[in-house]
Amino acid sequence: GAGKIGEYTMCSFRIMGVGTYKPGSKSNPHLGKQKKLSQNNETRLEVECDESVLNDVLDNMLETHPYEEVAYEIYDFRKRENRSDGSIITFKKKIEYSDLVKRFNKNISEPIHKNKYLKRLAIVNDSESDIHIERCTRKEADAVLFVNNKVNLIIL
């Protein structure tokens, strides 16, 4: 069940390191001695698995691992969606903000930002969010047009 990524199987990532531990008086250590600080070369193994097989993967690991207490972590692993969040348009020449607003809504008579010019416009297929604004700023967009249930234009 674990180690499958797309069309690849047996996928893992391994990190070598040194583990330290001090077995208690009631422990039965695989390596080391009770009440003595121990250190051993260990390998951290990372694999991806579907949530539907997670309990089976954990059961197998706990049954086969030689250590009495196995250290493990479970991460919520999310993949990027295949769809794009949007695009950036670079105009051949700068256009005035008021002209852009008029193209979207001819009923706006007085532009909010007079004499503001745009060269790069980001169009985002989502609701307005700080994350999208930050991404568009990093990509040097001059403004962001959010298109979801409503249209919202933000000057950066």
Structure confidence by residue, pLDDT tens digits, 71-91? 999 988 777 666 667 888 899
Q: Cα(146)–Cα(141) distance, rounded to whole angstroms?
A: 13
pTM over 0.85: no
CB burial string 58-81: b at 16+ within 10 A, e below: eeeeeeeeeeeeeeeeeeeeeeee
Q: Which CATH number is 1-79's, of 3.30.465.10, 3.30.70.120, 3.40.1710.10, 3.20.20.80?
A: 3.30.70.120
Instruction: Give the neighbor-by-neighbor strand order of the sheet with 86-96.
Output: 86-96, 117-124, 143-147, 151-155
Spell out the domain ranges in the chain: 1-79, 86-155
Answer yes or no: is pLDDT of 104 > 80.
Answer: no
Place 56 in a pLDDT band, splitting at 50, 70 and 90.
Answer: very high
Give the pLDDT confidence score for residue 113 in this predicted structure: 62
101, amino acid identity = V
Place 99 in a pLDDT band, splitting at 50, 70 and 90.
Answer: confident
Token pair 């007085």 is at which residue? 110
What is the C-alpha R_g of the chain?
28
Give the pLDDT confidence score for residue 12 in this predicted structure: 95
Beta strands 86-96 and 38-46, pairing class: unpaired
Give the pLDDT confidence score for residue 107 in this predicted structure: 56
Over residues 14-53, the pLDDT tens digits come to 999 999 999 999 999 999 999 999 999 999 999 999 889 9
Q: What is the DSSP letter of 5?
A: B
Give the pLDDT confidence score for residue 43 in this predicted structure: 94
